[in-house]
Amino acid sequence: MRSWVRAASAVVAVGWGANQFSPLLIVYRDQDHLPSALVTAVFGAYVVGLLPALMVGARLSARLGRRGVMRPVLVLSALATVILIFAGESTWALAAGRLVAGVASGAAFGPGTAWIKELSEDGAGARRAAGALSAGFGGGPLVAGALAQWLPAPAVVPYLAHLVVVAVAAVLAWHAPETSPPKTGPVRLRKALRHPDFLRRVVPSAPLVFGAATTSFAVLPSVLPVPGAPIASSGAIAGLTLGSGLLVQPLARRLERRRAGSVLTYGLVLAGLGFLLSALSVTLTAVILLAPTAIVFGSGYGMLLVGGLSRVEALAEAEELAGVTAVFYCLAYVGFAAPYLFTAVTSVAPAALVFVLAAGVVAVLVTVTASSNRRVGYYE
């Protein structure tokens, strides 16, 4: 088995654990009768653990190596799932499980992405890392939603699948080659983070990576629930969104090679189209539009993820890679606020109008990034 696949299995496992909770929100809300606001807060505890762990994990990987961080992270991801299994209806225990899952994810994504890139041939690292992340993010909710919908103990059985995935990943990744021997001394990120390309293109587009994805699998199913199988359909929409993001990534990589920097603009255009389709779906109460909307949002997510990681890979020196990647993920996870912003704004405005306004904001970002393309000379 190729070394990069072994490293990628660890990223898949952690991503699976991060997103398996999404379709189970309905279980905790409707079957366990926990208040919606409380369930949403538990969902958000993940980000509280993730953001600081992103930067800490990147710094630790510079000192301990990529494998030296990913080994304990796999254990931590499994621990988070065990906490969720035994949490029952305790919101504090659920929040603790989600918090630990966030810490595991934050510590994994920067070093894991760098590890895959360093084990790949030139030009393939960003696509492979994005693919591993998307496979985990999509597989987790897809399998968890199906198990929760049609098997007993919906707050327990879905989590068992993640423990199996972690066990397989541990076998594969535990002895994968180390690419960054432990070192001492500070790691400076200023050069890449101050580059005009990072500031003008990566920073404004990164929040739409997960802003597009979470709108698709967290916002739309709550606005337009599918009758008869709400849990499975929620997981299926998440799987379709992130699966589309996975499938579009080879195309994104080819476009990036042909015209460096352009993929971020394409991703923003797709995200804007997704918001417009969301507005149409809500206006017509058309559940049938959920699938095409998820595909468009997912394709935008995939383009933005590959585009952002490709720019990071191009701008960062070897010793900066994990740290700059962590900064990119921090910016991307700002998009996880989309469900909370949507809930707040729809208290004073119709959902369709909110989606149209979001599309307008994205249109402005398209203009900004496209003009940045010309300034840095991508289209010359």
Domain boundaries defined on the chain: 3-175+190-375
Please enumerate in sequence order all residues whose Cβ is within 8 A of that of 374, keeping only pairs 6 or more positions apart, or say none: none
Q: What share of the chain is helix, strand, coil (3-state, %, to 5)?
A: 80, 0, 20
CA 109, 203, 189, 330 torsion-angle sign: negative
380 confidence band (pLDDT: 50, 70, 90): very low
SS3 state of residue 149: helix
pLDDT in tens, 178-192: 988 776 655 566 677
Task: Report pLDDT for 375.
Answer: 52
Task: Report pLDDT for 374.
Answer: 54
DSSP letter, residue 271: H
Residue 177's identity, in one-letter code, is P
Contact, 322 vs 110, CB < 8 A?
Answer: yes
pTM of the model: 0.84
Task: Report pLDDT for 205.
Answer: 94
Rounded Cα gap, residues 133 and 26, in angstroms: 24
Better-predicted residue by pLDDT, 6 or 40: 6
Contact, 278 vs 266, CB < 8 A?
Answer: no
pLDDT in tens, 113-153: 999 999 998 777 888 998 999 999 989 999 999 999 899 99
Task: Report pLDDT for 378.
Answer: 46
Give residue 187's region: left, alpha or beta (phi > 0; psi -120 to 50): beta
Better-predicted residue by pLDDT, 58 or 294: 294
Task: Report pLDDT for 185.
Answer: 58
Rounded Cα gap, residues 332 and 134, in angstroms: 14
SS3 state of residue 120: coil
pLDDT in tens, 163-175: 999 999 999 999 9
The CB density around residue 5, as the number of other CB atoms within 10 Å, is 17
Contact, 271 vs 297, CB < 8 A?
Answer: yes
Transcribe 166-226 into DSSP letters. HHHHHHHHTTSPPSS----S----HHHHTSHHIIIIIHHHTHHHHHHHHIIIIIHHHHSPP
Task: Report pLDDT for 181.
Answer: 76
Rounded Cα gap, residues 359 and 362, in angstroms: 5
The CATH number for 3-175+190-375, chosen from 3.40.1180.10, 3.40.350.10, 3.20.20.140, 1.20.1250.20, is: 1.20.1250.20
